[in-house]
Amino acid sequence: MAPDAGETARIVILVGLILQVILVLLSLLSGFGLAFVFGSGASSGPFFVAAGVVLVWVILVYRFSYVPTANEEYDSAGLPTLIFGLLSMVAFLLVPIVTLALFSLLPGVFLLIGWVELHRASERLRHLPKPLLGPPKVPEQVVAAPGSHPRPQYASPTNATLPVPPGSKYCATCGQPTVVEARTCRNCGANFR
């Protein structure tokens, strides 16, 4: 089964984060290399500053893009991911070293792809059927004693077999619909696995 848009968004944002960590490491190595070759002069300072800025950037992208995406909060991750992607693309123009510039451009591309996938996942969640008062009640099978007339009893949402549209399922705790791949309920936070 192919991953859904939310899982794809999580993966491409993670790849963008990994590339940004590589950028931090390259900046640090360049700074240490210059300091080693030329002595502790001012020439390596910009590399250490760049590494610090990118490290803060990685933390922000992780907190505001990756974590909400991993928690299936696609709407709240969308705008930060778009902004981080665009700013990464602009930062590409400010980096004078080609290798570092390339590693500044690639995370931006991955974050923009993640933003598109977040939008698709968010749209998919909006189009899931919404029950009025939880999942439909399903009568349980009742075995009656001979000569008596059984009254139908209704199953609770936690043990009912419900008709579920393809690509969705209902939370056993609160009855809200969610995508099949979800690990937690967006409404009540219950774990599915």
Domains of the chain, residue spans = 5-126, 128-141+153-193
Inter-CA distances, 37 with 30, 32, 40, 43, 78, Å: 10, 9, 9, 11, 44
**pLDDT category, 182, cuts 50, 70, 90?**
confident
Helix or strand (DSSP H, E) at 168: strand 168-170
For residues 44 and 156, what is the distance between their CA atoms, to the nearest angstrom? Answer: 67
Greater confidence (62 vs 136) lies with 62
Please report the pLDDT score of residue 170 as a whole number: 76
Mean pLDDT of the region 96-110: 71
pLDDT tens digits, one per residue of 22-67: 877 877 777 666 555 555 555 666 667 767 777 888 899 999 999 9
**For the whole model, what pTM was predicted?**
0.59
